[in-house]
Structure 1
Amino acid sequence: MTSQTWNRFWGSTFVKAPLQNGVGRYVQQLQRITFKFCKTHGGSRGMRDFIEKDLIEFARMNPGVVVYLKPRRHRSSCLKAEYLNGGEEYISAHKQSSEEIKKWVEYLRTQSGYSVERLRKYQHTDRPSIQGPWTPWMHRDQCINIAEYPQEELSCAVKREKTATQELLEKSKIFVGVNNSS
């Protein structure tokens, strides 16, 4: 799928996170999870096994998540997750094993509730620099790009000019020496 097709149907966005999540304490974004299943249908066997074996442990480990069980007659099983920002996600669990459902529940637990979109950039700032992003190679000589390594002169320590502080210290020693001799 080309990026133009993706943008036309699903759009793109910048990186975003729930406002100040982690400042003070972490707030889990998953608020409610609903397990919908049939008590008799064979396609819901994995969901029933998960509920019998793993649901209590999940609820114990995630006390901030409200868990609902909704038995429905003659309907395929599914998971419904509701998040703090109002987002909802449905996942069909028809004919899935207990282990697969466990993985889906973990996936839903770790999501933020925002829809999946193509990211325009990996980083975003409200006040971008007009100079561009800094890189460790920004003020390096370009001959390093085509050099063959190992190279003796590139392996040596970088010789730097005296700093202003070093110059002042040297002049102060000279000044002190002149005052002491008189």
Structure 2
Amino acid sequence: MPVNAVRRGISVMRNGVGAFVLPCRKLTFRYCNRGASSVGMREYIHENLAKFSKENPGIEFEVTHKHGQPLITGHYLNGKKKSIGVANMSPSEIVTKAKLLRNSSGKKLVRPTHPVSSINDGPRGIWSPFHMLAQYRHKV
């Protein structure tokens, strides 16, 4: 019985087929102990972070004390980082920002450089104002 070599490149990994892996692997919460802009972040960490971490067991959470504005930084599987400043925000606003970073993929947002075009014609054909009856046309 001959042995065949394993061919590489056959299997294409698709996230969501079979199992889903969040692109966000780690969230870092940075705040200052004394700063007035970190009041909401301190409240969020003491009251809501434990619940948020239990809801997301696949994400690592890190809390750091550092002088300056409070930040939430998302670290992603593709090696990218995204930071959002949460200065002077309430805990409920910080929850939405943390969920935004959790659900993000880490890719940069880029504008499409080329217009969208199609190979196929439209199902109704090409429209022109001259396809209407003369009595219904707009007259200038």
1:132 aligns with 2:115: no
1:36 aligns with 2:30: yes
Cα distance in 2 between the residues matched to 1:133 and 1:56? 53
Q: How far 1:147 moved relative to its partner?
A: 5.3
Cα distance in 2 between the residues matched to 1:142 and 1:88? 47
Instruction: Map residues 60-99 of structure 1 onto 2, 5 A cutoff.
Output: 60-72=54-66, 74-99=67-92
Partner of 1:24: 18
Structure having the higher helix fraction is 1
Partner of 1:179: none
Q: How far 1:70 moved relative to its partner?
A: 0.5
Partner of 1:108: 101
Gaps spanning 5+ residues in structure 2: where? 1-12, 134-140
Between Structure 1 and Structure 2, how many residues are aligned? 121
Mark the structure with the bigger radius of gyration: 1
User: One-letter code of the match for 2:95?
Assistant: K
Identity of aligned residues (%): 28
Instruction: Map residues 137-176 of structure 1 onto 2, 5 A cutoff.
Output: 137-138=124-125, 146=131
Q: How far 1:93 moved relative to its partner?
A: 1.4
Gaps spanning 5+ residues in structure 1: where? 1-18, 125-130, 149-182
Q: How far 1:135 moved relative to its partner?
A: 4.0
CA RMSD of aligned residues (A): 2.7
